[in-house]
Chains A and B, each alone.
Chain A
Amino acid sequence: MRSDEPMGGFADDALVPADGEHGAEAFMPTRRTVLVSAGAAAAVTVAAGKGAGGAAWASAAGDTRVRTVGAGESVEVALSVNGQRRTVTVEPRVTLLDALRERLGLTGTKKGCDRGECGACTVLVGGERIKSCLTLAVMRQGAEVTTVEGLASGDELHPVQEAFIRHDAFQCGGCTPGQIMSAVACIDEGHTGSDAEIREWMSGNLCRCAAYQNIVAAVQDAADAGKKVRR
């Protein structure tokens, strides 16, 4: 048993087996069922076009890239994950986080709450940081996704990863993949002018071990190192 093996066990199955009696409405009223019932008669509208993002939901009506998927049906989603082309077949209501963790075997991205509260699931999509539990995989057709597993080149750690080790910016490490992805974006966005600015722009990532002081130092350090390299 290893944690880094691909989660091949149910890679091609629909997420939920058919259940004649209980349709999707039988589930607890979560965010996902809200989306389900928003589609007409237990069917879901998904954006099938390449590169369609969250906006496709709002503009779905007149969009030719949109098609309707029946309850329990699955959709093929093509992603570029850490520079590799990956395809997953998922029900439309599967989050990007679950697709990464359970279909692609990329368990580096953590699930601390599954509802956008903690930041443990932060990944980069098209270079921008998002909480992968708050986006459906189908909304990211064709997107370029970077997870914590994609930062290092071989044995050489990414400067932010190095800085986190140097500053002991974690204890249990449960928040760390999310903190690091958030930090990479924070530096990229240029939000590292001061400790106060870093704190403001890193405040979406909880750390229960409260390694905050060291996280701020690590982000500052990595940002400074980046500046030196660019000059």
Chain B
Amino acid sequence: MTTSTKSTVTRTDGIGASPRRPDGTAKVRGEFAYSSDLWHEDMLWGATLRSPHPYARITGIDIARALALPGVYAVLTHADVPGVNRYGLEHADQPVLAEDVVRYRGEPVVVVAADHPETARRALERVEVGYEVLDPVTDAESAVAGQGAELHPGGNVVRHVPIRRGDPDAAAEVVVTGRYEVGMQDQAFLGPESGLAVPAEDGGVDLYVATQWLHVDQRQIVAALDLPEDKVRLTLGGVGGAFGGREDLSIQVHACLLALHTGRPVKMVYNREESFYGHVHRHPAVLYYEHGADRDGTLRYVRARIYLDGGAYASSTGAVVGNAATLGVGPYDVPNVSVDCWGAYTNNPPCGAMRGFGAVQAAFAYESQMDRLAAACGLDPVEVRIRNAMAQGTVMPTGQVVDSPAPVEELLRRVRAKPLPPEPSGEPDLRTLPGGVSNTTHGEGVVRGVGYAVGIKNICFSEGFDDYATVRVRLQVVGGEPAATVHTAACEVGQGLVTVLQQIVRSELGVERVTVEPSDTTIGSAGSTSASRQTYVTGGAVREACLRIRDALGALSPAELGDKVLDETVEWRHRPTEELHPETGQGNAHVQYGFAAHRAVVDVDTELGLVKVVALDCAQDVGKAINPQAVLGQIQGGSAQGLGLAVMEEIKTEGGVIRNPSFTDYLIPTVLDMPPMSIDVLELADPHAPYGLRGVGEPPTISSTPAVVAAIRAATGRALTRVPVRPEHITGT
């Protein structure tokens, strides 16, 4: 790393401040160009024909009648994919357009381009696809056991990760066991998938798209189109939320394919229903746990078997399995661990990245277990957690020694010390009852409960992945004033990365004017906007580039640069991580851990089975809050998604078919469901990270769900082993 004699400047618009977002004004004026808002003269509209069956053999595709429709410019099948008709984040196992078999309900089979979206939809209705319906595999556990059809060569196990530490036969005085289930959650970003592909004169294509990782999109597109990398150029369109759901391809190859075929710009926009089919979801899970402890609650061992349903294609299932396994015992010091986690292929909708990425499913189970253990030992739930809390120096189940602060105990103490909301008294305000003004019991059966949870998440990419970001920073004098520009391919998806990058440059170079250029593929990869990693990695890269510029400046101040342009491009990586040993799961797999704890207070109408989350308070260590306001926003947003999983959010599938692909039937928290939060932000520096910072976005999603469920258990005495908790689980009817 470069050394510099000048030090980082404290500024009101730099690191540690909360300056205005550079995209804020455009967003409140309605002028921010989301990918769905793009328009091009002469453009056509693309649409996708999807499989109506979860599993079927395709016996024939007849496109003649669709092609004959006036206004239709292209009707394409797998035969029109010039390159490799397979893509995927980890394994190239997913066809761009289905060939002989469809493996999930909603799988793309045919794409069309037409002069209007309605024409395109009509054309799809004229396509005739013959199907021979097959028996779908819809249960992950039996898929792992080898039952049912083999959906991919090599079998239906995408990945199995075993973790073995200590004595596999360890025994204990107190043993608690449980089987837990987590439903399939959806990212439900508000701006559905969309993009615009514009064919170029050089035979290539320019794609404007809302995504999380431009370069991994590009890599998959060029393989499918059989074009060299420089012929497929991507620019980030405005992103209406992501949460993991934009890490895989949706419209990308289809739009480019149609644009190249027609020679016309092609826009594709999914509607809400199609969006439920158009991206991966959070893996549903079945988890078996056994915790053994001394009578005083000290953990002796944890044994677990975790089954994650990856759906029809692998997506990022392998990495999700790695997380669920390595983080499977939670933020606790456990001497003897035996965890097995499997990700399975089934004919359910494909699952992949969603905020929390494997850590969420495990946390619901291990935190439920900690409450059971507390009850079995006659201990307070916070006390049992504190007694087992990991700390700096703890050896993880992978053998990795935690070498930065891990203030698990402190976080728990903090949420416990927060004042509780006042008990309801007198005539209830209907608006505050579970179910709100439509509550029909007027609150007679309402019981209050309090619950706690703490969670752990790995930050950045793990298991030996070469995780880096490329940035270019330039400094020059413009109009008599020093001005800096930052260019990266990192995706701003709403989290505020562009603000953070400006702040870092302002503090490092002491300039006020910092422009963040549009993200595109004319520069190297910045990696994915996921794993809570962008402030760490792209932020770290920007810092490094600034330090080099400071060195080049020498004794000069930026204003004294004259005509000189200082221009630094750097590729910055975090400390390397290691692969896990295939049999023991040992290895320094993660670069950093993040922690958050929640205390939830709920009112439960025990007659109606309705829940109102009255308070959801949080303490989280962020190492260093580069932008405190954005940190709070991430904690609130993550907590809300955790609340959603606890009490309302689930994609219901039946035989592989999604039953609720709409916001009427798939519920996400409204402003009435989400209480105002009291949040403690700790800043215990990680000595290995830029500015000591710790990734922020995911940890709050992890502990929020089990805390809410623990509170409902406290109110009702029910076991509640499945999320989301449904009214019938509470009423027992």
Chain A interface (Cβ < 8 Å from any Cβ of B): 1-5, 7-10, 13, 15-17, 19, 22, 26-28, 101, 105-115, 117-118, 120, 147-149, 151-152, 157, 161, 164-165, 168, 170-177, 180, 195-196, 199-200, 202-203, 205-216
| Interface contact B637-A171, CB-CB below 8 Å | yes
| Interface contact B633-A168, CB-CB below 8 Å | yes
Q: Is B664 an interface residue (CB 8 A)?
A: yes
Whether A211 touches B34, Cβ cut-off 8 Å, given contacts A28-B121, A118-B663, A176-B27, is no
| Interface contact B121-A200, CB-CB below 8 Å | no
| Interface contact B668-A206, CB-CB below 8 Å | yes
| Interface contact A208-B662, CB-CB below 8 Å | no
Q: Is B527 an interface residue (CB 8 A)?
A: no
Whether A110 touches B122, Cβ cut-off 8 Å, given contacts A3-B33, A118-B663, A206-B663, is no
| Interface contact B29-A157, CB-CB below 8 Å | yes
Query: From B41, which residue of chain A is reached at the shortest CB distance?
Result: A9
| Interface contact A173-B23, CB-CB below 8 Å | yes
Rounded to whole angstroms, the CA-CA distance of A117 and B640 in the bound complex is 18
CB contact between B272 and one of A15, A115, A213 (< 8 Å): that residue: A115
Q: Is B38 an interface residue (CB 8 A)?
A: yes
6 pairs of A and B residues whose beta carbons are closest in the complex: A108-B30, A172-B494, A174-B240, A210-B640, A173-B27, A117-B663
Whether A174 touches B637, Cβ cut-off 8 Å, given contacts A118-B190, A118-B663, A165-B25, is no
Which parts of B173-230 form the interface with A (CB within 8 Å)? Answer: 187-192, 196, 198, 208
Q: Is B18 an interface residue (CB 8 A)?
A: yes
| Interface contact B189-A148, CB-CB below 8 Å | no
Rounded to whole angstroms, the CA-CA distance of A120 and B508 in the bound complex is 39
CB distance from A105 to the nearest CB of B (A): 8
Whether A174 touches B189, Cβ cut-off 8 Å, given contacts A168-B18, A211-B637, A216-B671, is yes
CB distance from B521 to the nearest CB of A (A): 17
Query: From B26, which residue of chain A is reached at the shortest CB distance?
Result: A173
| Interface contact A26-B20, CB-CB below 8 Å | no
| Interface contact A171-B31, CB-CB below 8 Å | no
CB distance from A177 to the nearest CB of B (A): 5
Q: Enumerate chain A residues within 8 angstroms of B71, measured Cβ to Cβ.
A: 17
In the complex, besides A118-B272, A214-B636, 10 extra interface pairs with C-beta distance below 8 angstroms are: A1-B38, A1-B198, A16-B118, A27-B121, A110-B36, A113-B271, A200-B431, A211-B636, A213-B676, A213-B677
Q: Which of B40, B241, B495, B677 has the most CB of A within 10 A?
A: B241
Query: From A160, which residue of chain B is reached at the shortest CB distance?
Result: B28
Chain B interface residue count, CB cutoff 8 Å, equals 79
Query: From A205, which residue of chain B is reached at the shortest CB distance?
Result: B671
Q: Is B243 an interface residue (CB 8 A)?
A: yes
| Interface contact B115-A17, CB-CB below 8 Å | yes
> What are 16 inter-chain pairs, A to B, with CB distance below 8 A?
A3-B37, A3-B38, A4-B33, A16-B122, A112-B663, A118-B663, A148-B30, A157-B28, A171-B495, A172-B191, A174-B191, A196-B431, A203-B671, A212-B671, A212-B674, A213-B676
Q: Is B552 an interface residue (CB 8 A)?
A: no
| Interface contact B28-A1, CB-CB below 8 Å | no
Rounded to whole angstroms, the CA-CA distance of A120 and B240 in the bound complex is 11
| Interface contact A15-B116, CB-CB below 8 Å | yes
| Interface contact B188-A208, CB-CB below 8 Å | yes
Q: Enumerate chain A residues within 8 angstroms of B2, measured Cβ to Cβ.
A: none
Q: Is B579 an interface residue (CB 8 A)?
A: no
Rounded to whole angstroms, the CA-CA distance of A110 and B239 in the bound complex is 12
Q: Is B432 an interface residue (CB 8 A)?
A: yes
Q: Enumerate chain A residues within 8 angstroms of B641, measured Cβ to Cβ.
A: 210
| Interface contact A172-B190, CB-CB below 8 Å | yes
| Interface contact B663-A177, CB-CB below 8 Å | no
Rounded to whole angstroms, the CA-CA distance of A149 and B672 in the bound complex is 28
Rounded to whole angstroms, the CA-CA distance of A68 and B723 in the bound complex is 52
Which parts of B618-644 form the interface with A (CB within 8 Å)? Answer: 629-630, 633, 636-637, 639-641
Query: From A150, which residue of chain B is reached at the shortest CB distance?
Result: B30
CB distance from A172 to the nearest CB of B (A): 3
| Interface contact A213-B636, CB-CB below 8 Å | yes
Rounded to whole angstroms, the CA-CA distance of A117 and B665 in the bound complex is 10
Whether A212 touches B27, Cβ cut-off 8 Å, given contacts A3-B39, A171-B633, A175-B190, is no
Q: Enumerate chain A residues within 8 angstroms of B43, measured Cβ to Cβ.
A: 9
Rounded to whole angstroms, the CA-CA distance of A113 and B27 in the bound complex is 19
| Interface contact B25-A149, CB-CB below 8 Å | no
| Interface contact A168-B630, CB-CB below 8 Å | yes
Rounded to whole angstroms, the CA-CA distance of A170 and B71 in the bound complex is 40
Whether A180 touches B629, Cβ cut-off 8 Å, given contacts A3-B33, A209-B637, is no
Whether A112 touches B119, Cβ cut-off 8 Å, given contacts A161-B28, A171-B496, is no
Q: Enumerate chain A residues within 8 angstroms of B188, measured Cβ to Cβ.
A: 208
Contact indicator per residue, chain B 479-504, by CB within 8 Å of chain A (1) or not (0): 00000000000000111100000000
Q: Enumerate chain B residues within 8 angstroms of A117, measured Cβ to Cβ.
A: 272, 662-664
| Interface contact B671-A202, CB-CB below 8 Å | yes
